[in-house]
Amino acid sequence: MTFYRSHVLVCVDPECLAKGALGIVDALQDEFVVQGLINEIQVLETSRIGKCSDGPEIMVYPEGIHYHGMSVDDIPYLVEEHFLKGRVVERFHEVTVPVVDEELGPLRPKEVRIVLRNCGQIDPNNIEDYLAVDGYQALGKALLEMTPEQVIEEVTNSGLRGRGGAGFPAGKKWALTRQVQDSPKYMVCNADEGDPGAFMNRRVLEGDPHSVIEGMIIGAYATGANYGYVYCRAEYPVAVETLNIAIAQAREFGFLGENIFGTDFSFDMEVRVGAGAFVCGEETALMASIMGQRGEPRPRPPFPSVKGVWNKPSNNNNVETYSNIPQIITKGATWYASRGTERSKGTKTFAVGGNVVKPGLIEVPMGITLREIIFDVAGGIKDGRKFKAVQTGGPMGGCLVEKHLDLALDYEALTQAGSMMGSGGLVVMDETSCMVDIARFFMDFTQAESCGKCTPCRVGTRRILELLQKICDGLGEKGDIERLEELCVEISRNSLCGLGQGAPNPVVSTLKHFREEYEAHIYEKRCPAKVCKSLIRFEIQAPTCTGCTVCTRNCPVNAISGERRQLHHIDAKTCIRCGICVQVCNFNAIDVFS
Amino acid sequence: MPAIKSLEELKRVREEALQKKKVKAAAGNVQVIVAMGTCGIAAGARDTMKSVLNFIETNNLSDVSVTQTGCIGLCEQEPILQVVVGEGPKVVYGKVTVEVAEQIMKQHVQNGTPLKDHVLPI
């Protein structure tokens, strides 16, 4: 066994390879031969050392010196300096400095945190943490220094609108509930967050439950309610547990219960756990479910503010709406209204997902553009690909394209553009997404979640799904697009609740902006984004395939054959188009055709 | 805790809560905060938490308080662990597996040197 005095590790991750890592390996070895060091120093290939974006990268042991960004021509100099003379070459030396964050403030550029101000900062299970950051100050102020009318006026002036997606002014809703002469009245918090890929409310409930509770108590004082329900889905066990702990602690401190702050106002609340039906996010279905009935919507009017839970006046707001309230009361309506656009004030949380560099939860001021959200806050499109579309408003929303990117975001602007604000899901798609497939995905969701009470939604969504499936399978025929269009119109016109009325939106908007993709599927039997499995085939390319056998070994159905160092071949009949071979191939030798 | 009946009482409770934190920080206490939102738990925060608690127990560490918090919006980086030594700045670590958590406890909490590899550049 040979002993080496030093080891040089070269990163051969795809990005470094693309930047010529293999050339560096050869150059190092050649130079070590020239300098007579080849028996003392070993060159090894390894995976990721640093960021790769500064590649090629090498690591020299035992010193642990990290070099990056050199070219083949620099190698003789590097070898001479480092390995002969023992001097570190500062020019390529990468010094990793620990990045220490002073204040955990906005994590990304352009974020403004009002709703999420405490999330990840405080211990949600300890009310003292919330009190230390001015918790329940707003409640004290409202109860002891303001009349219910003043509270409503403050909320109205702030311009806060329903964050569940419809955007009904919160102050106006409170005033409506207050006007009704009936008792008791109820406060309801809609925490039935069901959009695929949306988890803004969950985060608030898990990270800062007291802000929601405080908002609800203030709302109860303003509307004259004495009992509250948080309707949360069973899929959020952590949120339910955190909420229950928080409610118990609030009771212990006297923020819930009889005679809060020594006034004659009393309020208590509980969590109602739903089974996770999407339709229960619709307010009438939600209230039915709270009462133990089937979660099905009913026609409005009467609106919940007149007849809601237990047929009594009920005020229903979303988690995010409530958690805005304490800040509005403490800092004032003017402060809140200073952010946003003419018609939409304050901030909005979004769950950004899909093909972006930094997915996650963000809170941005209203009036920001989609371009800023996608490219500044979320870091742009992954792997340098091209932006194609963004789905806003969840499965009831629509997709927006390049020309919409500079819209100043507010409720009206999104509706005008053919989508909606929704609760805040944002799914970003790049050129590798097939829009027919996306529409099929959302329709699969709404079809499964349709409660079945009214025919247009129950039968119509299924018919649309069948047509889309047919098109994706390459069996689309002339007239299918027209049938889709007709169905979309009828379903949105005739459905009972928002779920059915909004269900065709993804199809309508993709048809509007990407009709040619539908046509390619139907008339040319081609999937332009190369996604739909029935319409694509994989082929190994002769000049690039090295016959390394990686694809053969990884193919789950043994569809790839070929001798070592010979061109490999994929049997189209056996191939299930899973794409694993493309992922594992180190030489990008497998192309997808459609 | 008797019910709070006035703004003065509320203010006093707030001051007390702040004071408690300050005293701990001034005494050089180390706070280890594990993000335990659903995203964290899904990424393995429970195991991370266990590993932190185990380390404290086996090494008989005192003056280390372990708390939890919610999601900070970088779910992709979960499990996230934050370390505050005394009155020093907050250091945020991402993708803290059981092994990384042990390393952090050893290097940062016990010896005071942040583990540079896993610090989130935020």
- What secondary structure, in 3-state letters, does A71-127 show? CHHHHHHHHHHHHHCCCCCHHHECCCCCCCECCCCCCCCCCCCCCCCCCCCCCCCCH
Say which residue the tokens 């090498």 belong to: A58
How close does chain B come to A454, measured CA to CA in Å? 35
Q: How confident is the model at residue A303 (pLDDT cuts 50, 70, 90)?
A: very high
pLDDT at A369 over 60: yes
The one-character DSSP state at B80 is -
Q: Which ranges of chain B does DSSP label H, i.e. alpha helix?
A: 7-26, 38-42, 45-58, 98-104
Residues A421/A414, Cβ–Cβ less than 8 Å:
yes
Of B18, B76, B91, the CB nearest to A132: B18
Inter-residue contact A494 to A506 (CB < 8 Å): no
Of A96, A122, A203, the CB nearest to B71: A203
Which residue of B21, B31, B72, B111 is the best one to mutate when testing the A interface, meaning the one whose CB has the most A CBs within 10 A? B72
* Whole-angstrom distance, CA of residue A351 vs CA of residue A371: 15
Strands (DSSP E) found in A137-208: 186-191
Using the predicted structure, report yes or no on whether residue A51 has a pLDDT greater than 80.
no
Judge: B70–A206 Cβ closer than 8 Å, yes or no.
Answer: yes
Q: Please say whether the beta carbons of A68 and A55 come within 8 A.
A: yes
pLDDT of residue A331: 93
A210 in contact with chain B, both atoms CB, cutoff 8 A: no
User: Which of A48-52, A254-258, A395-399, A583-587 is least confident?
Assistant: A48-52
DSSP label at residue A197? T
* Tens of pLDDT, residues A317-338: 999 999 999 999 999 999 999 9
The tokens describing A252, both together, are: 């212990």
Q: How many CB atoms lie within 10 A of CB A434?
A: 27
The pLDDT-based confidence of A57 (bands split at 50, 70, 90) is confident
Distance from CA of B76 to the nearest CA of A (A): 7
Does the CB of A357 have a partner CB in chain B at under 8 Å?
no
User: Distance, in angstroms, between A593 CA and closest chain B CA?
Assistant: 32
In this prediction, residue A50 carries a pLDDT of: 65
pLDDT at A518: 96
B90 Cβ under 8 Å from any chain A Cβ: yes
User: pLDDT band at residue A220, thresholds of 50, 70 and 90?
Assistant: very high
All domains of chain A in start order, with CATH? 6-92 (3.40.30.10), 127-337 (3.40.50.11540), 347-430 (3.10.20.600), 435-523 (1.20.1440.230), 536-593 (3.30.70.20)
> What was the pLDDT predicted at B49?
92
A362 — contact with chain B (CB < 8 Å)?
yes
Residue with the larger pLDDT of the pair A533 and B73: A533
Chain B contact for A253 (CB, 8 A cutoff):
yes
ipTM: 0.72
Pick from A388, A336, A417: which is nearest to A170 by CA? A336
- Look at residue A417 and give its three-state secondary structure: coil
Cβ contacts of A127-131, under 8 Å, gap ≥ 24: A127/A210, A127/A246, A127/A249, A127/A250, A127/A252, A127/A253, A128/B13, A128/B16, A128/B17, A128/B20, A129/B17, A130/A208, A130/A210, A130/A211, A131/B10, A131/B13, A131/B14, A131/B17
Among residues 133-172 of chain A, which lie with CB inside 8 Å of chain B? 134-137, 140-141, 144
Residue A296's pLDDT band (cuts 50, 70, 90): very high
Residues of A in contact with B111 (CB under 8 A): none
Q: Do B75 and A359 touch (CB under 8 A)?
A: yes
Residue A571: count other Cβ atoms within 10 Å of its Cβ: 12
Q: Which residue of A has its CA nearest to B114?
A: A98
pTM exceeds 0.80, yes or no: no
Rounded average pLDDT over B17-33: 81
Rounded to the nearest angstrom, the minimum Cα separation between A100 and chain B is 6
A246-269 pLDDT, tens digit each: 999 999 999 999 999 999 999 999
CA nearest neighbour of A203 among A130, A261, A119: A119
Beta-carbon separation of A358 and B74 below 8 A: yes
- The distance in angstroms from the start CA to the end CA of chain A is 53
CA distance B100 to chain A (A): 16
Is A327 within 8 Å of A114 (Cβ atoms)? yes
Radius of gyration of chain B (CA): 16
When CB atoms are compared, the residue of B21, B69, B72 closest to A107 is B72
The partner residue sitting opposite A100, judged by closest CB among B13, B75, B89, is: B89
Q: For B54-105, how does the pLDDT look when each residue is reduced to its tens digit (9 = 90+)?
A: 999 898 888 888 988 888 888 888 899 999 888 788 889 999 999 999 989 9
Q: How many CB atoms lie within 10 A of CB B8?
A: 10
Chain B CB within 8 Å of residue A252 CB: yes
Q: Which residues contact A416 (CB under 8 A, 6 or more apart)?
A: none
Q: Nearest CA to A166 among A401, A341, A378, A422? A: A422
Looking at CA atoms only, how far is residue A121 from chain B in angstroms? Answer: 7
d(CA A280, CA A239): 17
Q: Which residues of A touch B36 (CB under 8 A)?
A: 206, 238
Stretch B1-25: mean pLDDT, rounded? 83
Strand order in the sheet with B30-35: B64-69, B30-35, B81-85, B90-93
**What angle do the packed helices A200-207 and A237-252 form, to 10 degrees?**
40
Question: Among candidates A416, A417, A338, which has minimal Cα distance to A157?
Answer: A338
Cβ separation B71–A119 shorter than 8 A: yes
CA B55 – CA B105 distance, rounded (Å): 7
Please report the pLDDT score of residue A107 as a whole number: 58
> What average pLDDT does this structure show over A145-166?
94
Burial grade of A485 (CB within 10 A; 0-12, 13-18, 19 or more): middle
Tokens of A143: 């109860």
Q: How far is B92 from chain A (nearest CA, A)?
A: 7
Instruction: Say whether pLDDT at A102 is over 60.
Output: no
The DSSP bridge partners found for residue A59 are A9, A66
Amino acid (1-letter code) at residue A430: D
Angle between helices A148-158 and A209-223 (to 10 degrees): 120
Longest dimension (CA), chain A: 96
Q: What percent of chain B has pLDDT over 90?
A: 25
Rounded (5°) CA angle A454-A456-A459 = 95
B111 at the A interface (CB within 8 A)? no
CA atoms within 13 A on the CB side of A346: 29
The one-character DSSP state at A222 is H
Lowest mean pLDDT among A156-160, A163-167, A279-283: A163-167
Domain range list for chain B: 28-118
Q: Go through A300-338 and write b for each residue having 16 or more CB atoms within 10 A of its CB, e for each that does not.
A: eeebbbbbbbeebbbbbbbbbbbbbbbbbbeeebeebee
A99 pLDDT higher than 50: no
CB-based contact A341:A365 (threshold 8 Å):
no
pLDDT band for position B1 (cuts 50, 70, 90): low
Whether the pLDDT of residue A38 is over 50: the answer is yes
Quickly state the pLDDT bin for A196 (edges 50, 70, 90).
Answer: confident
Please give the residue that has the higher pLDDT: either A381 or B110: A381
B65 and chain A: CB distance < 8 Å anywhere?
no
Cβ pair B69:A120 closer than 8 A? yes
pLDDT band at residue A232 using 50, 70 and 90 as cut-offs: very high
pLDDT in tens, A467-515: 999 999 999 999 999 999 999 999 999 999 989 999 999 999 999 999 9
Choose the closest CB to A100 out of B68, B75, B91.
B91
Please tell me the distance in Å from A62's CA to the nearest CA on chain B.
Answer: 18
Nearest CA in chain B to A249: B1
Instruction: Determine which of A145-154, A510-519, A563-572 has the lowest per-residue pLDDT on average.
Output: A563-572
Which of A101, A120, A362 is facing B89, going by the closest CB pair? A101
Task: Pick the residue from chain A with its C-alpha nearest to B22.
Answer: A132
Contacts of B24 in chain A (CB under 8 A): none
Q: Search chain A and give the residue with CA nearest B74.
A: A360
A193-216 average pLDDT score: 91
- Interior angle at CA B85, CA B80 and CA B88, nearest 5: 105
Question: What's the pLDDT band for A179 if we cut at 50, 70, 90?
Answer: very high
Report the largest interatomic distance among the alpha carbons of chain B, rounded to a whole angstrom: 50
**What residue in B sits closest to A141 (Cα-Cα)?**
B7
Find the CB nearest B21 among A96, A120, A132: A132
Condensed to tens digits (0 to 9), the pLDDT of residues A421-470 reads: 888 889 999 999 999 999 999 999 999 999 999 999 999 999 999 999 99
Comparing CB atoms, the residue among B70, B92, B120 nearest residue A207 is B70
- Best of B16, B20, B33, B71 to mutate (most A CBs within 10 Å, chain A): B71
**What kind of fold does domain B28-118 have according to CATH?**
Glutaredoxin (3.40.30)
Q: B1–A252: do the CB atoms touch at under 8 Å?
A: yes
Three-class secondary structure of residue A542 per DSSP: coil
Q: What is the pLDDT of residue A97?
A: 43
Question: 3-state class of B57 per DSSP?
Answer: helix
- Ramachandran quadrant class, A90 (left: phi over 0; alpha: psi -120 to 50; beta: rest): alpha
In chain B, the percentage of residues whose pLDDT exceeds 70 is 98
- Nearest alpha-carbon partner for A122 in B67, B94, B83, B11: B67
**pLDDT-based confidence at A100, cuts 50/70/90?**
very low
- The distance of B69 to chain A (nearest Cα, Å) reads 5
